[in-house]
Amino acid sequence: MKNVIIVPTYNEKENIRPLIKDIFKYVPDVHILVIDDNSPDGTALEVKNIMIEHKNVSLLSRAGKEGLGKAYLNAFSELSKDPDIDYVVVMDADFSHSPSYLPEMFKMAPNYDVVVGSRYIGGENSGTEGWELWRRVLSKFGNLYCRFITGMSVKDSTAGFMLIRKELLDEINAKDFDVSGYAFMMELKYTLWKKGSRFKEVPIIFKNRRQGESKLSSHIIAEGIIAPWRMRFKK
Ligand SMILES: Nc1nc2c(ncn2[C@@H]2O[C@H](COP(=O)(O)OP(=O)(O)OP(=O)(O)O)[C@@H](O)[C@H]2O)c(=O)[nH]1
Ligand SMILES: [Mg+2]
């Protein structure tokens, strides 16, 4: 059994070492693949140092910043060469997605195709913490908007914390995606949902980034507004 956790990074030097340590604390047997877009802060060098101590960590270095969508697609295509991988987890580097949820997600995995760490399934264990009002409104509205336009029944359609049965990723065609920001997460879910994948949402509290600067831009927001329409009318 081989499971890979993919962590895309852009200027996450302060977060990456503690994050990797925390992931191994909760799920010691996983492999971690960091995919870095040539971060100016030297995240890749930090990962190379971590790799000296941990054989289950690897790095995919990309030439420049192209957004997390492109980074993930690059990682999926690399992993498709390895038929022994059972599950892949996608998660952010900034501790918004706590590794403490990983054991529960892996526990659910055998009965589903996709397990989503969800902020919007109700109850006190599902939500966001530390965000200003505008981020909360944007995120909630973005979710409802995406669900309404696409008809997808996943409650947290923009979630970036997911466990996916690996063979489903092998069938993904990178050419079908042309998004860079978190809209990629909507499109990835939509693609998997359209294939008839069995989804399970588990509650998470999403925390605001621990260290470093936000990369949310007006371009990423604009992309999120257009993406659900494009997905809906795509053949
Ligand atoms: N490889 C790569 N990773 C990226 C890129 N943009 C963002 N990321 C990573 O993707 C994850 C999610 O991005 P964030 O910047 O945290 O986006 P966010 O959570 O919407 O916003 P903040 O937490 O406020 O910054 C983080 O681990 C980032 O380092 C990129 O262009 N390339
Ligand atoms: Mg973040």
CB of 43 shorter than 6 A to ligand 1: no
Cβ 114 under 6 angstroms from ligand 1:
no
pTM of the entire predicted model: 0.95
83 CA distance to ligand 2 centroid (A)? 30
Q: At what angle do helices 68-79 and 183-194 cross, to 10 degrees?
A: 40
Q: How many CB atoms lie within 10 A of CB 159?
A: 24
Phi, psi of 231, rounded to the nearest 5 degrees: -65, -45
CB-based contact 5:23 (threshold 8 Å): yes
CA-nearest residue for atom 11, ligand 1, is 92
- Cα separation of 124 and 203, whole Å? 9
Q: How many domains does the chain have?
A: 1
Residue 180 Cα, ligand 2 centroid: separation in angstroms?
14
CA 158/CA 79 separation, integer angstroms: 23
Residue 178 has a pLDDT of 76
Q: What is the pLDDT of residue 235?
A: 62
Q: Which atom of ligand 1 is nearest to the CA of 12?
A: 29
Neighbours of ion ligand 2 (CB under 5 A): 92, 94, 96, 209
Asked whether the CA dihedral 196, 202, 206, 209 is positive or negative, the reply is: negative
Q: Which atom in ligand 1 lies closest to the alpha carbon of residue 212?
A: 25
Q: The CATH number of the domain where 14 resides is what?
A: 3.90.550.10
Contacts of 107 (CB under 8 A, 6+ apart): none
pLDDT tens per residue across span 87-110: 999 999 999 999 999 999 999 999
Is the CB of 32 inside a 6 Å radius of any atom of ligand 1? no
Distance in Å, CA 182 to ligand 2 centroid: 10
Alpha-helical runs (H) found in the chain: 13-26, 43-53, 68-79, 102-108, 133-150, 166-170, 183-194, 218-233
What is the residue-wise DSSP string for 199-211?
EEEEE-EEE--SS
What range defines the domain where residue 215 resides?
A: 2-233
pLDDT along the chain (235 residues), means of 10: 94 98 98 98 98 97 95 96 96 97 98 98 95 90 92 94 97 84 90 96 96 81 85 79
227 vs 48: CA distance, rounded Å? 35
Q: Which ligand is nearest to the CA of 91?
A: 1
Cα–ligand 1 centroid distance for 52 (angstroms): 25
State the pLDDT at residue 78: 96
- CB neighbour burial string for 116-142, b if at least 16 within 10 angstroms, e if fewer: bbbbbbeeeebbbeebeeeeeebbeeb
